[in-house]
Amino acid sequence: MIAVENVSHRFETSGRQSHLALDDITLEITDGAFVSILGPSGCGKSTLLYIIGGFVKPTGGVARVQGRAITGPGPDRGPVFQEFALFPWKTVLGNVMYGPRQQRIPRAEAEVQVRRLIDMVGLKGYENFYPKELSGGMKQRVAIARTLAYNPSVLLMDEPFGALDAHTRTRLQNDLLNIWERDRKTVLFVTHAVDEAVFLSDKVIVMTRSPGRIKTIIDIDLPRPRKRAELLLDARYQNYVVAIERLIDDTGIDEAAR
């Protein structure tokens, strides 16, 4: 379980100023849940993921995983971040092999698994390409495969499908749901797309404009396994999407009225 207890974060910025990015966030995410975070640009979604990933130490409060305070990154929490960094000197295969090799999985065994993941993200045939030879969306898919390859129990995904074309995006949503339904990893998923959040999640967290606070948490009570084509026709699905879009609009109106 991930527990975020009264977490605030203030960034020191240039010229003696500081910026409150997160204000008193308290959350519990049970093992195996798929949770999405929605909110306006700059509300602190990435910062919250960095804190849970152990890359940023919050200036207030504490984040825990399985009861232990998070003090740094760990193999239990796998990040797929907005500013993904592939190893430029490694091929696609080399990048995805990195995690399993670090975990001392024998090369032949790792390679079978890694080639399957590369195929899953639609990059079969590109195993020997270097990152600079790939498009932005292709690099993002390598980053997703690389994280999945070391099999963390918690996936921290920061707009992982944001840069992808609609077709690839839909495919990867389905693949991610299949993986999740099989392995029941805990997924924390940041997105700007309300329909994507409803389609994938058990819970959707809506954050306010900066400084980010939790505005509402909505349970998505739709049966699984979910099929996109069926859901699009389902009134309950449509109602969730509309209700959440309204909530996000409200966030803007509140701000304008101040």
Ligand X SMILES: Nc1ncnc2c1ncn2[C@@H]1O[C@H](COP(=O)(O)OP(=O)(O)OP(=O)(O)O)[C@@H](O)[C@H]1O
Residues that bind Mg ion (CB under 5 A): 46
The owner of tokens 């204000």 is 23
- Does 173 contact ligand X by CB under 6 A? no
131 is a site residue for ligand X (CB under 6 A) = no
Burial code (b: 16+ CB inside 10 Å, e: under 16) for 155-168 equals bbbbbbbbbbeeeb
| Residue 11 binds ligand X (CB under 6 A) | yes
**Minimum CB–partner distance for residue 42 and ligand X (Å):** 4
Cα–Cα distances in angstroms (integers) from residue 257 to residues 248, 250, 252, in the given order: 15, 10, 9
- 225 alpha carbon, distance to own chain's centre: 20
**Does residue number 140 form part of the binding site for ligand X (CB under 6 A)?**
no
Rounded CA gap, 96 and 113, in Å?
10
Q: Which stretch binds ligand X (CB under 6 A): 43-51, 109-117, 119-127, 235-243?
A: 43-51
Q: How far, in whole angstroms, is CA 89 from its chain's centroid?
A: 26
Closest CB to Mg ion among residues 36, 46: 46
What is the amino acid identity at position 82?
Answer: Q
The reply to whether omega before 79 is within 30° of 0 (cis) is: no
**Residues 2, 27, 35, 45: which binds ligand X (CB under 6 A)?**
45
Residue with token string 């971040």:
81
Residue (18 or 102) nearer to ligand X, CB: 18
Specify burial of residue 68 (Cβ count, 10 A radius: 0-12, 13-18, 19+): exposed
**Using CB distances below 5 to 8 A depending on partner kind, what does residue 100 bind out of ligand X, Mg ion, none?**
none
Q: Of Mg ion, ligand X, none, which one sits near residue 44, judging by CB under 5 to 8 A according to partner kind?
A: ligand X
Q: Is 201 in the site for ligand X (CB under 6 A)?
A: no
Q: Shortest gap between Cβ of 44 and Mg ion (angstroms)? A: 8
Per CB under 6 A, the list member of 47, 95, 140, 186 interacting with ligand X is: 47
Q: How far is the CB of 162 from Mg ion (least distance, A)?
A: 9
42 touches ligand X by CB under 6 A? yes
Neighbours of 6 (CB within 10 A): 12
| CB-CB contact of 156 with 70 (8 Å) | no
The token pair at 7 is 């977490």
Residue 210 beta carbon to ligand X: minimum distance, rounded to whole angstroms: 5
Helix (H) or strand (E) holding 199: helix 194-200
Picked from Mg ion, ligand X, none, the partner binding residue 42 (CB below 5 to 8 A depending on kind) is ligand X
Q: Is 55 in the site for ligand X (CB under 6 A)?
A: no
Task: Report the distance separating Cα 198 and Cα 67, nearest Å.
Answer: 28
* Smallest separation, CB 38 to ligand X (Å): 9
# binding residues, ligand X (CB under 6 A): 13
Is residue 17 within the footprint of ligand X (CB under 6 A)? no
Binding site for ligand X (CB under 6 A): 11, 13, 19, 21, 39, 41-47, 210
